Amino acid sequence: MTLITHYGYCDGSGEYYIVIDSDKCNGCNKCVLACPQKALQLEIEFIDLEEKTVAAVVELHRKKIKYTCASCKPENNNTPCALACESKAITSVWIPR
């Protein structure tokens, strides 16, 4: 089973989302170290009555991803976080309008 979390925004300029698949994520911490904005952290998520440590966007940044991720955004799926992920659990999508 999967649990996919989308962090991002949608406005007049387009849509941008960091998508983390908690099932694939192995909690290796590489994305956390790779993020130039320190916007990621490991978090305990509650899945099927169990707890799993997975990567997540820091609460503080969740509502300002437009600004936090501004410099990486044009890279589309080649953002540092997506490239650092060994289990391909992170994708980032930028769809300009």
Site residue total, other proteins (CB under 8 A): 23
Does residue 96 belong to the site contacting other proteins (CB under 8 A)? Answer: no
- Strands of the chain, DSSP E: 4-11, 14-21, 40-47, 50-57, 90-96
Give the residue with the Cβ less far from other proteins, 28 or 62.
62
Which one of 25-33, 39-47, 74-82, 83-91 is the stretch in contact with other proteins (CB under 8 A)?
39-47
Residue whose C-alpha is closest to residue 58's, from 83, 89, 25, 35: 35
Does residue 62 belong to the site contacting other proteins (CB under 8 A)? Answer: yes
The H or E element spanning position 33 is helix 30-34
Give the residue with the Cβ less far from other proteins, 49 or 96.
49
Residue whose C-alpha is closest to residue 5's, from 14, 17, 15, 16: 17
Does residue 7 belong to the site contacting other proteins (CB under 8 A)? Answer: yes
In the complex, the residues that contact other proteins under the rule CB under 8 A are 1-11, 15, 17, 45-49, 62-66
